[in-house]
Structure 1
Amino acid sequence: QMMAKLQPAKAAAAAGFWQSGPVPQLVLFGWPDARAHVNEGDLTINNAGGMWLHRNADGTYQGLDKYSGMLPPVALTFWSLRVAVGLGLLMLAVACVTFLWTFRRGMDPAALPPWWQRVLCGMMFSGGIAVVAGWWVSIIGLQPFVVNGTITQSEVLGSVPSSTVLYGLAGYGLLYALLLAAFAGMLFHAARYGVVPVRKLSGGAP
């Protein structure tokens, strides 16, 4: 609701709501077509989408037709939100199942069957992907503005050469790839050999 109030174009893009009007459908899935201003192959719930959208003084809900020529990338905003929410729900479900499974077996992770351990390994990067997807909704859904409805990106673009931006992006990508590889290696090592506890010696010295 806060996004709908302060950034109504982003809210409409995330909801896939094209035409302003009465209480809209809640679009669960579909493919937003920015040319035809429709959602292809959508799966909806009738009269359930109003909570996500900005409401005008006359009671109608504000759609993307009010922002002609100033639309964010609708499909990317739409699907980024669903990836973030879907992964969040999936992580919650996997965590609950894992807790119940281990709780019945004395909280021993070794009691988990091998196939479920593979599921947990597959979920290892889901948190990071969900965070990135949520960040995409926040940043990409704001386009073409930097400050919503006030300052556009074209007004604040600098004169830095594109090659400099590319080198900087490549450097960041390489750094985070190395950090991710180190993190994954640490997790796999801990999963294979266990975590060795650190014991303190007498006198308080480690």
Structure 2
Amino acid sequence: MTDAETALLLARIQFAFTISFHFIFPAFSIGLASYLAVLEGLWLRTGDSVYLNLFRYWMKIFAIAFAMGVVSGIVMSYQFGTNWSVFSDKAGPVIGPLMAYEVLTAFFLEAGFLGVMLFGMSRVGKGLHYFATLMVAVGTLLSAFWILSANSWMQTPTGWAMNDVGQFVPAGSWIDIIFNPSFPYRLVHTVIAAFLTTALVVGGVGAWHLLKGRDLPGVRKMFSMAMWMAAVVAPIQIVVGDFHGLNTLEHQPQKVMAMEGHFESYPNGAPLILFGIPDSQAETVHASVEVPYLSSLILHHGLYEPVEGLKTVPRDERPPVGIVFWSFRVMVALGFLMLGLGLWSLLARARRRLYDWRRLHRFALIMGPAGFVAVIAGWVTTEVGRQPYVIYNLLRTEDAVSPLASPAVSASLIAFVIVYFTVFAAGTVYILKLMAHPPHPAEPEPAEAPIRTAGITPAASVEHGGANPRPDRSEEAER
């Protein structure tokens, strides 16, 4: 391997490492911001203090996750200038404005109202505070809109032309660039994934406290709401994923071939390869476990529809099959486990055992981090499946990297690994400590959090009789 090839590999590893860390936090904060808006809205509508306590409980966690997402995102942007300067030069006239719109709309909206949301409940009216919460939630969704528009354009580029110096520039309407063919599917799929990620975390926290015997109204409420989200949204996500897959088949067929593990073409119906060991050199999947005709049914909605394989694609145009094959299966498997959790919770609810079935609670606890794993697996499937291009069929990844020597890239990669694992691990540990304490009946907002009554913590006040652990009538009815 030459020095240039090593530098390219290290640059790709560095970007994958930093974006994997970054993706975790927006996936959580997008869903959590909307959850906070729902909680505050329910409190204003019903006057039930349980919703207010849950709002304040999760607001502190949101603040930390949001901050870590911002910091990790800033670091990523610098890599466009250091490791991917050729890409920045060639695609800047298209990608640059989209990223700027994200800052001018979404980030400014979030930053402008975040302080009011975090510290303003006792300082502004209820209506203004709720408006601030809604604006933060809208801002997170707007951020996803612009980022996914830019990334989707790299997947399915439209509305562009090439200028005299070899740059991609807008041609005609920006609508064609923003709403490129894959963008609507990827936006819906990603936002729903964020909602599911948050629901699984909230459900996991509620399950943890139920397993610990902390059968409090707030714990019950958060667990119930999370299970409703899993039961309703998980099947919707599976349907959306199917539409997204069909769109990918139309515009990026090589990616779908790698996802399915199809090296051979099947003129009379393709099997679904459930498991196996892809071998790109031998162009086969060893020890495969297959379901006849099912791939044709999924991809073309017909048992005997023809399906092309990777052997119809030149070797230098194929993505790394093994990575895409397995990351796709991890994502799909976790999606069906989420569906199973939602259906199990519906059965428990129907039998009035939602807060009593410990096996359900253990499963919900295990599934707590599953959303993060699924979104990372989905990102790997999307980005690695696009290879060998950074702009699909137009700009190869090897032609987009900066002319750097491998020692320079390796040094920055090592620094990123050390700093990220130190800083973000500390933040994650702190978030887990906050989650380890149940929401108590007088949860303070962040501005009041340091004020405590002579050595008595919220958890201690609950454990020593500060709140009645018995559910009220509304909680019994909810069962």
TM-score (norm 1): 0.80
Q: 1:137 to 1:176 in 2, by over 3 A?
A: farther
Q: What SS class does the counterpart of residue 288 from structure 2 fall into?
A: strand
Q: 1:62 to 1:82 in 2, by over 3 A?
A: same
Residue 153 of structure 1: how far off its partner (Å)? 0.8
> Which residues in structure 2 correspond to 1:49-198 (within 5 Å)?
49-50=295-296, 51-52=298-299, 60-65=306-311, 66-105=313-352, 107=354, 109=355, 111-113=356-358, 115-160=359-404, 161-162=408-409, 163-187=411-435, 189-190=436-437, 194-198=438-442
Q: What SS class does the counterpart of residue 263 from structure 2 fall into?
A: coil
Letter in 2 for 1:137: T
For 1:155 and 1:182, the matched residues in 2 are separated by: 42
Letter in 2 for 1:118: R
For 1:166 and 1:7, the matched residues in 2 are separated by: 34
CA contact (8 A) 2:273 2:288 kept: yes
For 2:432 and 2:343, the matched residues in 1 are separated by: 23
> Which residues in structure 2 correspond to 1:18-57 (within 5 Å)?
18-22=263-267, 23-50=269-296, 51-52=298-299
Residue 171 of structure 1: how far off its partner (Å)? 2.9
Letter in 2 for 1:132: I
Q: Is the deviation greater in 118-127 or in 77-86? A: 118-127
Specify which structure has the higher proportion of helix.
2
CA contact (8 A) 2:327 2:381 kept: yes
Residue 106 of structure 1: how far off its partner (Å)? 6.5
Q: Deviations over 1:77-102 (max 9, x none)?
A: 01111110101111221232134224
Letter in 2 for 1:73: P
Q: Which runs of 4+ in 1 moved over 6 A?
A: none
Letter in 1 for 2:309: G
Residue 123 of structure 1: how far off its partner (Å)? 1.5
Which residue in the other structure is 2:256 paired with?
11
For 2:417 and 2:261, the matched residues in 1 are separated by: 31
Q: What SS class does the counterpart of residue 183 from structure 1 fall into?
A: helix
Residue 3 of structure 1: how far off its partner (Å)? 0.8
Q: What SS class does the counterpart of residue 294 from structure 2 fall into?
A: coil
Structure 2: segments with no counterpart, 5+ residues: 1-245, 445-479
Paired residue total:
188
Which residue in the other structure is 1:203 paired with?
none
Letter in 2 for 1:104: R
Letter in 2 for 1:48: L
Q: Is the deviation greater in 118-127 or in 163-172? A: 163-172
Residue 2 of structure 1: how far off its partner (Å)? 0.8
CA contact (8 A) 2:344 2:360 kept: no
Residue 25 of structure 1: how far off its partner (Å)? 1.5
Which residue in the other structure is 2:467 paired with?
none
Q: What SS class does the counterpart of residue 49 from structure 1 fall into?
A: helix
Residue of 247, 257, 264 corresponding to 1:2: 247
CA contact (8 A) 2:388 2:397 kept: yes
Specify which structure has the higher proportion of strand.
1
Q: Is the deviation greater in 40-49 or in 124-133? A: 40-49
Which residue in the other structure is 1:56 paired with?
none
CA contact (8 A) 1:9 1:67 kept: no
Which residue in the other structure is 2:14 paired with?
none
For 1:8 and 1:179, the matched residues in 2 are separated by: 40
Identity rate, percent: 26
Letter in 2 for 1:9: Q
